[in-house]
Every structure is written in C-alpha cells, then in structure tokens.
Amino acid sequence: MPKWFTPAAILCGLMFVASPILIAEVRYESTMGLVQKIFYYHMPSAVMFLLAAVICGVASARYLFGGAPHQDRVAWAAAELTVLFGIITLVTGPLWARKAWGQWWVWDVRLTASLMGWLVAVAYLLVRRYGGPGSDKLAAGLALFGAANVPFVYISVNYWRTIHPATSVVPTLPVDMGTALWFCFTAFLLLFVLLLKMRIYLEEERARVDSLYLSLEG
Amino acid sequence: MKTVTSTLLAVVFLAAFIAPLGAQGSGAANQSQTPRQEQQTEFVPLDQLPPQEQLPAPRLLIAAYVFVLAALFLYVVSVSRRLGTVHREVQRLEADLRKTGRR
C-alpha cells in the first residue's frame, strides 16, 4: 500500500467522528425538521454510488476494448463499492422518506433507476463469483449498462414529476447546511478513494497468488 | 302583481344563496394572498395525530446513521480479512517456492 494510505485513513476516521457533531449544530429544515439531517450522509453516499458505477463502467469498457487486466481489477473493485454505497443510499433514503413523504418508497424515476443501477452492480458481482471462465467479459458488458443508467438517475428529478428534491437544492443551501454537507462529502470521497485503493490492492494480491501457483506448478 | 312578487322573492332567494358563496370565494382568495395562522379551536392529544406525524424522527435518524456506519465498518473488516487471507497464502507459496529452489 502507498505511504499516504495510513495518514489518509486516520484523517478520514477523524472526519467521520467529527461529522455528527457538525451535523448536530446545523439548523433544522423548516418543513421536515430533524429527519432532514439524514441528508448529510444520504447525498454523499448517493454520489459515491453513482461515481463507483461510472468508474466500473469506464474500467470495464477499457478492459473489453483494451484488454488490460488492471482495468478489470479496477472494475471489480468499483462494482463492490457500487453495491456498498448503493445499499447505504437505498436504506437511508426510505428512512428519511417515511417521515418526510409518509411512505417508505415511491416508484418514481429517481428511485426506480437507482434500484436498477444497484441491481446491475449486484448482477456484476454474482456473474464474477459464479459465472466461471469468461465471466469477466460478460460482467464488463453488464457494467456498461450500469454506467449508462447513471445520467438518468442524476437528471431524473429535474425532468420527470417526482416528490424527490431537485438537484437545485444543493447550490441553494445556507452556509451552515452547506458546510456540513461538503464536510461529509469530503469524508465520503476520501473514504471512497481509500476503499477503492484497498480493494484494487486485494485483487492485485490475488493475481500474485495465481502467478505464484503457476510458478510452483511450472 | 302576483308574478312581480314571485319574481322578487326568487331574486331575494338567489341573492341569499349566491352572496355567501361569493364571500367565501373572496375570503379564500384573501387567505391565499395573506396566509394567516388558523385560530386553534380544540386541543388534540399527541396520540391522536395522523400516523405520519406521530413517527419519531430521532429513531429514523439514528437508524440511518447507525446503518451507514455499520455497513462501512463491516465492509472494511471484510476487505481486511480477505487481504489477511491472501497475504498468508502469498507467504506460504513463497516459502514453498524457496523450498523447491525455484526462487
């Protein structure tokens, strides 16, 4: 692992410890009150979910058309992070919606497209785990669909009728709400980079194990 | 004379019905222009509120934050364990290679 990994991990841990204190200090939103504070973890995890799906798709495309094994490892690592941040988004969202909207789930475009994107990432991991030989290429094809879904998830709240807040909410946040949000966003982004690096390193070590087995048998 | 009286009665009757409707309409328009807080006419106990308003927000908020932190912690533990297993396997294989003299 690189030298910067440990200091970055410590910084990330400290940011996650500090974030609830910062969030507690922020004023309540006028219509939703206390439950709106789920937003400060929900929105960054949703962005990481989409970012991971894009990285998985781009790396898969580069693996399919370029054939570099490193890109396949990046794609596999990103697919796991898509599932992780996706489940966080899909659980925290309904917990917020139950109080704010009066129901756990609505089948609007944003929520449905997010669920579809998450299911594609789960399918990617299942294909990699149980697909046998050639599953890497098959999974890479799936990842392209997962990445193609991302723009729909992002713009859906601005073009289709929904009760989900629009993307214009974030730039109009007051200073205290914006500070807490961007602090949490930075913590999540740092965590995302660390987890991606750690997960790619795991795949590199597995590749090393395979080459060692080949040397032993050869 | 009888028809004049009945016409007058009909007009008064209609006016009696239409006037309150008109007043209600203009009242609603005024209310929409300058929203006022409604005067409270009764006290409603907390447990009689609609189910949505009775939901305890702190419980949902804490559940969300606990879920996020637990999911992240479990994932870090999972990757660390997998890395530990792979490291041990690398060490074992390298030792085997040294024994066989291939390294």
**pLDDT tens-digit series, residues B26-60:** 444 444 444 444 566 666 666 666 665 666 788 99
Q: Is A109 exposed, middle or buried (0-12, 13-18, 19+ CB in 10 A)?
A: middle
Tell me the nearest-neighbour CA distance from A99 into chain B, angstroms. Answer: 6
> Is residue A27 included in any domain, yes or no?
no
Q: Can you tell me the mean pLDDT for A80-99?
A: 95
Torsion sign, CA atoms B46, B50, B56, B57? negative
Residue A160 has pLDDT above 90, yes or no: no
Chain B residues in contact with A198 (beta carbon < 8 A): 79, 83
Residue B3 lies in a domain: yes
Tell me: do B60 and B96 sit in the same domain: yes
Q: Based on the structure, what is the number of domains in chain A?
A: 1
Domain contains B70: yes
Query: How confident is the model at residue A216, as a pLDDT?
Result: 83
Q: Could you give the CA distance from residue A151 to residue B78 in angstroms, rounded to a whole number?
A: 31
pLDDT band at A158 (very low <50, low <70, confident <90, very high): confident
User: Is residue A25, in this structure, part of any structural domain at all?
Assistant: no
Residues B25 and B63 in one domain: no
Tell whether A154 is covered by a domain. yes
Chain A residues within 8 A of B55 when measuring between CB atoms: 98-99
Q: How far is B73 from chain A (nearest CA, A)?
A: 11
List, for residues A199-211, the tens digit of each pLDDT value.
Answer: 999 999 999 999 9
For residue A5, give every residue at least 6 positions away whose Cβ sits within 8 Å of its Cβ, in sequence order, or none: A194, A197, A198
Kindly report, residue by residue over A15-58, the tens digit of the pLDDT.
Answer: 999 999 999 999 998 888 888 999 999 999 999 999 999 999 99
Q: CB pairs under 8 A, 24+ apart, for A80-83?
A: A80/A125, A80/A199, A81/A48, A81/A52, A81/A192, A81/A195, A81/A196, A81/A199, A82/A49, A82/A52, A82/A53, A82/A56, A82/A117, A82/A118, A82/A121, A82/A124, A82/A146, A83/A118, A83/A121, A83/A122, A83/A125
Q: What is the pLDDT of residue B99?
A: 86
Query: With an 8 Å Cβ cutoff, are A96 and B64 in contact?
Result: yes
Looking at the 3D structure of chain B, how many domains does it have?
A: 2
Q: Report the pLDDT value the prediction gives residue B21, as an integer from 0 to 100.
A: 47
Give domain status of residue A101, yes or no. yes
Please tell me the total number of residues recorded for chain B in this structure: 103
Residue A127 belongs to domain spanning: 36-217
Which tokens in the block code for residue A108?
A: 């609007």
Tell whether B43 is covered by a domain: no
List CB contacts (< 8 A) between B61 and chain A: 34-35, 37-38, 95
**In a domain? residue B68:** yes
Q: Contacts from A7-15 at CB under 8 Å and sequence distance 24+?
A: A8/A190, A8/A193, A8/A194, A9/A194, A11/A190, A12/A187, A12/A190, A12/A191, A12/A194, A15/A183, A15/A186, A15/A187, A15/A190
> Rounded to whole angstroms, how far apart are CA atoms A191 and A42?
15
At A105-129, the pLDDT tens digits run: 999 899 999 999 999 999 999 999 9
A30 Cβ neighbours under 8 A, 6+ residues apart: none
Q: Does B70 touch chain A (CB under 8 A)?
A: no
CB contact under 8 A, B86 and A205: yes
Q: Pick the residue of B49, B80, B81, B86 with the most A CBs within 10 A to test the interface with A by mutation.
A: B86
For residue B38, is it within any domain?
no
Q: Which of B61, B82, B97 sits opposite A34 (nearest CB)?
A: B61
Nearest CB to B71: which of A87, A205, A213?
A: A87
Residues 40-69 of B with CB under 8 A from A: 52, 55, 57-58, 60-61, 63-65, 67-69
pLDDT, tens digit, 9 for 90 and up, residues B59-74: 999 999 999 999 999 9
Assigned domain for A7 exists:
no
Distance CA A8, CA A190 (A): 8
Residues B27 and B59 in one domain: no
Question: Nearest-CA residue of chain B relative to A36?
Answer: B61
Q: Does residue A195 form part of some domain?
A: yes
B97 located within any domain: yes
How far apart are the CA of B95 and the nearest CA of chain A, in angstroms?
11
In a domain, residue B41? The reply is no
Of B57, B65, B87, Cβ closest to residue A99? B57
Question: Closest Cα of chain A to B20: distance in Å?
Answer: 34
The residue among B19 and A80 whose pLDDT is bigger is: A80
A182 lies in a domain? yes
Domain assignment present for residue B22? The answer is yes
- Indicate whether A85 belongs to any domain: yes
**Residue B98 structural domain:** 55-103
For an interface test with B, the pick among A12, A21, A208, A217 (most B C-beta atoms closer than 10 Å) comes out as: A208
Q: What's the mean per-residue pLDDT of chain B?
A: 72
Claim to verify: residue B64 and residue B99 sit in the same structural domain = yes
